[in-house]
Chain A
Amino acid sequence: MSFAPRPAVQPWSRVNTARRVQIFLASSLPLAVTALIVLFGGLNPNVALLGVFLPLQLLAAGYVGFASFGRRGVGDASLIVLVLFFATFVLVLLASVVFSLISQGAQAVSWSFISQNNIYVSNTTSLEYGGVGHAIVGTLLIVGLTTIVTVPLGIAMAIYLTQSQSKTRGLVRTLTQAISGLPSVVAGLFILSMAMTLGWERSGLLGSMALLPLMLPTVARVAEEALRLVPVDLRYAALALGAPNYRAFFQVILPAAKSGLVTSILLGIARIIGETAPLLLTVPINNGTSWNPFSGNIMTLPAYIYGYLSSLFEPSQNRAWGAALVLMTVVAILFSAARFLSRSKSLKTKPTKQKASK
Chain B
Amino acid sequence: MSESSVTKPEPVRRKLSAGPLSRGDKWFFRTTSIAANFAFVLVAFILVFLIIQALPALSSQGFSFIYGTEWNNTKDPIVMQIGPMLWGSLLIGAVGVVIATPLAISLAYLIVFMLSTRLAKVATTLVDLLAALPSVIIGLWGLFVFSPVASEWAMLLNQYLGWFPLFQVGTADNGFVGSPFIAGWIVAIMIVPIITSITREVFSQLDRDLINGALALGGSRFSTFRRVIFPTSAGAVVGAVLLGLGRALGETVAIFYVLQLTFDINWGQILEPKGGAVASMILAKFGEATAEEVSGLTAAGLVLFVLTLGINFLASIIVNRAQPWRKI
| B106 at the A interface (CB under 8 A) | yes
Alpha-carbon distance between A335 and B132 when the two chains are bound, in angstroms: 8
Q: How far is the CA of A68 from the CA of B103 in the complex (A)?
A: 28
By a CB distance below 8 angstroms, the chain B residues around A275 are: 134-135
Name, among A90, A161, A176, A331, the residue most crowded by chain B CB atoms within 10 Å (CB to CB): A90
Residues of B within 8 A of A247 (CB): 24
Contact A183 B313 (CB under 8 A): no
Chain A residues near B257 (CB, 8 Å)? 309-310
Option from B34, B127, B316 in Cβ contact (under 8 Å) with A174: B316
List of A residues within 8 angstroms of B146 by Cβ: 96
Binds B, one of A24-32, A34-42, A70-78: A70-78
- A101 CA / B20 CA spacing, docked (Å): 54
A contact residues around B135 at 8 Å (CB): 184, 274-276
Which residues of A lie under 8 Å from residue B327 when comparing CB positions? 170
A320 to B50: give the CA distance in the assembly, Å: 32
Given A156-B35, A190-B50, do A245 and B28 touch, yes or no (CB 8 Å)? yes
Nearest Cβ distance between residue B201 and chain A, in whole angstroms? 11
How far in angstroms is the closest Cβ of chain A from B214?
A: 12
Q: A83-B106, A270-B132 are in contact. Are A305 and B282 (CB under 8 A)?
A: no
Task: Provide the residues of chain B in CB contact with A164, threshold 8 Å.
Answer: 29, 32-33
Residue in A87, A164, A310, A339 with the greatest tally of chain B CB atoms within 10 Å = A87
* B297 in contact with A189 (CB, 8 Å): yes
Q: How far is the CA of A94 from the CA of B126 in the complex (A)?
A: 8
Interface of B is mostly: helix
- Bound together, the chains give a CA A292 to CA B243 distance in angstroms of 37
Question: A294 an interface residue at 8 Å Cβ cutoff?
Answer: no
What 1/0 mask marks residues of chain A from 249 to 274 whose CB sits below 8 Å from any chain B CB?
Answer: 10000000000000000000011011
Contact B46 A276 (CB under 8 A): no
Contact B46 A317 (CB under 8 A): no
Does A237 belong to the interface (CB within 8 Å)? no
Chain B CB within 8 A of A79 CB? yes
A241 close to B (CB within 8 Å): no
Query: Most A CB atoms within 10 A — which of B50, B222, B298?
Result: B222
Question: Which one, A73, A79, A194, contacts B225 given CB within 8 A?
Answer: A79
Q: Are A172 and B39 in contact (CB under 8 A)?
A: yes
Of the 9-residue stretches B73-81, B265-273, B303-311, which lies at the interface with chain A?
Answer: B303-311
- A178 partner, pick from B35, B220, B313, beta carbons under 8 A: B313
Q: Does B153 sit within 8 A of A, measured CB to CB?
A: yes
| Interface flag for B210 (CB, 8 Å) | no
Asked if B223 is an interface residue, CB under 8 A from chain A, the answer is yes
Flag whether B86 is at the interface (Cβ < 8 A): no
- Chain B residues lying within 8 Å of A276, measured Cβ to Cβ, are 134-136, 252-253
A83 touching B109 in the complex, CB below 8 Å, given contacts A91-B126, A153-B38: yes
Known: A79-B222, A276-B253, A280-B286. A90 touches B130 (CB 8 A): yes
Q: Which residues of A contact B6 (CB under 8 A)?
A: none
Q: Point out the residues of chain A lying under 8 angstroms from B234, CB to CB.
A: none
The residues of A that contact B189 with a CB separation of less than 8 Å are 93
| Interface members, chain A 13-30 (any B CB < 8 Å) | none
Cβ contacts A85-105/B at 8 Å (1 or 0 each): 111011101101100110010
Is A174 a contact partner of B320 (Cβ separation < 8 A)?
yes
Chain A residue nearest to B47 in the complex (CB): A190
- Residue B102 CB within 8 A of the other chain: yes
Residue B42, interface by CB 8 Å: yes
Looking at the assembled complex, report how far the CB atom of B194 sits from the nearest CB atom of chain A, in whole angstroms. Answer: 9
Is A245 a contact of B29 with CB atoms below 8 Å?
yes
Decide if A170 touches B39 in the complex (CB within 8 Å): no
CB of A193 closer than 8 Å to a CB of B: yes
Question: Looking at the complex, which of A106-114, A125-133, A321-329, A347-355 is the stretch in contact with chain B?
Answer: A321-329
**Distance from A349 Cβ to chain B, minimum over Cβ atoms (Å):** 16
User: Which A residues from 182 to 216 make CB contacts under 8 A with B?
Assistant: 182-186, 189-190, 192-194, 196-197, 213, 216
Contact between A157 and B109, CB atoms less than 8 A apart: no
The minimal Cβ–Cβ distance linking A307 to chain B, given in whole angstroms, is 11
Contacts A90-B192, A157-B36 given; does A190 touch B223 at CB 8 Å: no
A298 on interface, CB distance cutoff 8 Å: no
Within 8 A of B (CB), among A155-180: 156-157, 159-164, 166, 168-170, 172-180
Chain B positions 104-125 with a Cβ under 8 Å from a chain A Cβ: 106-107, 109-110, 114, 123, 125
The smallest beta-carbon distance between B14 and chain A, in angstroms, is 20
Collect the chain B residues with CB atoms within 8 Å of residue A170's CB. Answer: 320, 327
Flag whether B52 is at the interface (Cβ < 8 A). yes
Q: List 14 A-B contacts (CB under 8 A).
A: A90-B107, A94-B129, A100-B141, A174-B316, A177-B316, A181-B311, A181-B315, A182-B309, A184-B135, A184-B252, A186-B304, A320-B140, A327-B137, A335-B128
Known A-B contacts: A90-B127, A306-B253. Give 19 more (CB < 8 A).
A47-B160, A87-B110, A157-B32, A166-B36, A174-B313, A175-B39, A177-B320, A179-B39, A181-B247, A181-B315, A182-B309, A183-B308, A186-B250, A186-B301, A193-B54, A194-B45, A249-B28, A331-B134, A335-B129
What are the nearest 10 A-B pairs in CB distance?
A274-B134, A183-B250, A75-B222, A156-B35, A86-B106, A246-B28, A181-B312, A193-B53, A160-B36, A189-B301
